[in-house]
Amino acid sequence: MKLTLEGCRILIVEDEPLIALDIEATLADAGARILGPVHSEAAAMALVDAAVSDADGALKIDRAVLDVHLGDNTCEAVAARLTSLKVPFVFHSGFARDTEPFVARSAAPHLRKPASAEALIAALDNET
């Protein structure tokens, strides 16, 4: 059975441009509508806030892929905001899950970079 993310609006937060493009292409091929990719915590928070404050009040993000380390920052605030909004997400990182306490405490899936297209799609598909 082929997994699909048809119509899902997925936020991509990734500071490595080539990885961001690869994730974007993978998810678009699975039918997702891509938000971003954005490369920083501030840009991700602005996009989440814009998605929440839409005129009709409907949340415009279905799922997210979060790189844990974003330059000198982490995605901790983004993960906390998405959790409060009940938006499922996966961590996608080159570091082990226990590298950051907020990742280790989270129930969100953790994929080690480079995750295969199948693993990424499956993790997001399971977050319904």
| Type of residue found at 111 | L
Q: What is the pLDDT of residue 95?
A: 83
Indicate the average pLDDT of the chain.
89
Is pLDDT of 128 > 60?
Answer: no
Total count of residues recorded for the chain: 128
Residue 1, C-beta contacts closer than 8 angstroms, at least 6 positions apart: none
- Helices 41-52, 76-84: crossing angle, 10 deg rounding: 20
pLDDT of residue 59: 72
In this predicted model, what pLDDT tens digit does every residue of 18-73 receive, in sequence order?
999 999 999 999 999 999 999 999 999 999 988 876 666 667 899 999 999 998 89
Q: Residue 127: pLDDT band by 50, 70, 90 thresholds? A: low
Distance between CA atoms of residues 16 and 20, nearest Å: 6
H or E stretch including 118? helix 117-125
